[in-house]
Structure 1
Amino acid sequence: MRKFRLSSTALALLCAISLGTLGTADARPGGGSSIGSRGSHTWSAPPRTSITPGWARPMDQSATPRTPSGYGSPGYASPSPMPGYGAPAYRPSYPVRHPFLSGFAGGFLGAGLFGLLSGHGFMGGMTGGTSFFGFLLQVLIIGGLIAFVLRMFGNRGQRSPMGMPSSTGAPPVGNAGGSAPVTLTNDDYMSFQRLLLDIQAAWSAQNMRALASMATPEMTGYFNAQLSDLASRGARNIVSNVQFQRGDLSEAWREGNLTYATVAMRYSMTDVTTDSMGNVIDGSSTEPVTVTELWTFVRADGRGNWILSAIQQAG
């Protein structure tokens, strides 16, 4: 009998060693990673909340390709230059850029040509030395004024109101993907809390059909891969006694006929991973842990329910 107990202990130890690389400390749904998609906001950092004062961790896995779309939105890294960025900006013609100065110079020359056509000569004629030198003086004064005004307007066009060099040619800043903010209701927040609890329960029961009804196909695929990996190692993760503590909306927006909502949620739970014989590999069935994550939900406007679209780790 003693020999059998030693064999069981040795077997449990071998299982623990073989599962050492599994990272079971974060074996809950999502595996402690940042996974999923947030539409055009996937590669932009969610706005901070009172319970997530730091930036969320970028996506470790996502079906959304990382592109420079959404330029100017708060992201995790500087986006790649947009096509044509930094190239010389289009420079309109002089009359378009300076319509008032063009009219002034044109009026000055037009007055001289009108004098020639009317028989009075350029600037009323030059019948004597005094008139000639007076004409030259007028030309010099008016020419100097024109040069001064042109220089002043040219400098203003190349500098920002604060005197710093302008970023001519930079793409305009706007909402990523043309998204528009939306307002949520109390029913929406209740749905988020219910999904948090139901997804944890379906996860512990290894009920993939239930998970597929509460998550996008992308998230369902991640859950399936994670559960399959645990099963192939002879392990099982059980999350129980889930208690929602606090939530805070990070952002909610609409893209086409889809509405997204990213919510920071803090909850406690008992998170334990066992082997095929029920021996605890990691975690505790008695000591609860507290987790803060950002969950993104999506739904089709006017039809369907909220479903999970992404999980991101906070801090």
Structure 2
Amino acid sequence: MNFRHRAFGLVQAVAVVLSLAMPLVVVASSADARVGGGVSSGSRGSRTFSAPPSTSTAPGTAQPFNRTITQPGSPNVGAPGGGFFGRPGMGLFGGLAAGFLGAGLLGMLFGGGLFGGIGGFSSIIGLLLQIALIVFLARLAMGWWQRRNEAQAAYAGGPSPLGAQATYRSGMGGFGLGSGSAPVQILPADYEAFERLLGEIQDAYSNEDVARLGTLATPEMVSYFARDLQANRQRNVVNKVAGTKLLQGDLAEAWREGDTDYASVAMRYSLIDTYVDRSSGRVVEGNGQPEEVTEVWTFLRPRGGNWELSAIQQTS
């Protein structure tokens, strides 16, 4: 298949570049607690540089993105396929390479940097491990891409479930009515998915489970999570998050771009957020008491597919 050949060729090219390049140096400041590092990260498609409307849950303004690879004015930003990361001609795998490398995911997986601890350029085993890791990441990315294509094919020809907006309130405090009208209908099952993703993403981050995060969020968001986890490793701490509970939420806006649906949701939730020493397990930050956080999370869904986290914005 031409697509797979081109993708694998790109992977091989990246492997050669990495084997010849200077060692990567990961510079990461002390990360804030909880998933997302307490900053605004990700992409909202063509609305990345427009603030989502305020809601009763988040009456203030969502902060602009501190971390995003979407470029202003880029075509098809956020859409699956070509230009997924807002850089025309870069494509899915080019964006993945930039995201993973820029975020230091490779360094995190090896511990202490891509070339650290394995003998640098003098180690043939180290080089083989690097190439094997790149191939592994490429296979994950291809599997992700194929699942999306299969979901879109299964949806083709079927009735569209999208229409007017619905209201939903979950048993945990949950979501109320968001904006008065939305081009995309958000159904009770969608709100349940948002609430579930809130907890599952926090749990996966707390467990430093990057593979699990890859099934719950876009590659861009996973790259940011990986960079934050690498910063924690450099500090010899683990960010433990527990007891995540949605207290209140409402829909800020929902829209469609091509075959991709978007939903920005204001969420106020509580959690117990601590840092523990990686060696001893001793709590070094946090008092073990629940705290409340209000953020705007944006989810995207390819037609017929599942919702994935694509952005987190702090509120003021």
TM-score (structure 1 length as normaliser): 0.56
Shift of 1:66: 2.4
Pick from 221, 245, 248: which aligns with 1:246? 248
Residue number in structure 1 paired with 2:150: none
Which residues of 2 match residues 38-117 of structure 1 at below 5 A? 38-67=44-73
User: What's the CA shift string for 1:238-267, capped at 9, x where partnerless?
Assistant: 000111111110000000000000000011
Once residues 184 and 250 of structure 1 are traced to their aligned partners in structure 2, the CA distance between those partners, rounded to angstroms, is: 11
Unpaired runs of 5+ residues, structure 2, are 1-28, 76-181
Shift of 1:68: 9.2
Residue number in structure 1 paired with 2:30: 22
Aligned length: 182
1:288 aligns with 2:285: no
Shift of 1:279: 2.2
Q: Which 4+ stretches in 1 moved above 6 angstroms? A: none
Pick from 189, 208, 211: which aligns with 1:206? 208
Once residues 208 and 287 of structure 2 are traced to their aligned partners in structure 1, the CA distance between those partners, rounded to angstroms, is: 19
Shift of 1:57: 0.5
Once residues 300 and 294 of structure 1 are traced to their aligned partners in structure 2, the CA distance between those partners, rounded to angstroms, is: 20
Letter matched to residue 35 of structure 1: S
- CA RMSD between the two structures: 1.7
Determine which structure has more spread, i.e. the larger CA radius of gyration.
Answer: 1
Letter matched to residue 34 of structure 2: R
Letter matched to residue 40 of structure 2: S
DSSP-derived class of the 2:200 partner: helix
Unpaired runs of 5+ residues, structure 1, are 1-20, 70-179
Pick from 244, 255, 258: which aligns with 2:257? 255
Shift of 1:278: 1.7
Shift of 1:45: 0.6
TM-score (structure 2 length as normaliser): 0.56
User: What's the CA shift string for 1:20-79, capped at 9, x where partnerless?
Assistant: x615xx32110000000000000001001001111111000101112399xxxxxxxxxx
Residue number in structure 1 paired with 2:313: 312
Once residues 60 and 67 of structure 1 are traced to their aligned partners in structure 2, the CA distance between those partners, rounded to angstroms, is: 18
Letter matched to residue 309 of structure 1: S
| Identity across matched positions, percent | 49
Residue number in structure 1 paired with 2:270: 268
1:31 aligns with 2:31: no
